[in-house]
Chains A and B, each alone.
Chain A
């Protein structure tokens, strides 16, 4: 399977705990995106990388969120001190670097904060 993969697929955590999600993009894709989606809404942009460089981060994100892509391959998204409002589907997408091109999404990680 050469699509985008995400792990874990589901995560249940208690409020105040830290969680980390992983995304493995399509191998030849240089751009990697993180989104958050709640019920009835479209994916909300969080951040994106061009290779290992984080080019933009949403101002909606608090300092509790951080993302890395250390070697320009897989990426991790960490949420510190989780809150119930963080419960959502976290989606990763990748795209090739030829201009504004199409994105391909992974299956997502569903986070539930209790």
Chain B
């Protein structure tokens, strides 16, 4: 149980295009989902926290107009990288907190590798 999926697992796009990444909780409902970014040999950096049905809360330094987050249901959150540029190339990871779990509980997706040419 407690599986989180991400789609796609890998995406390559041209500079200037937008890319959408999906994060799904497959066997539980998630009131809160988190989006992280990971650079090579670096730690996971929290980008934003999204709660179902409300606007996402972005961490300092993260451009909310560039990284659009939607959490329209209790099992799906999406991250859209708008007008992507090569510096947006990174590994994006989502996690989900179950509605019935403790505040410390997060289940992680396998990540999405974004490459912007």
Are A and B co-members of a single complex?
no
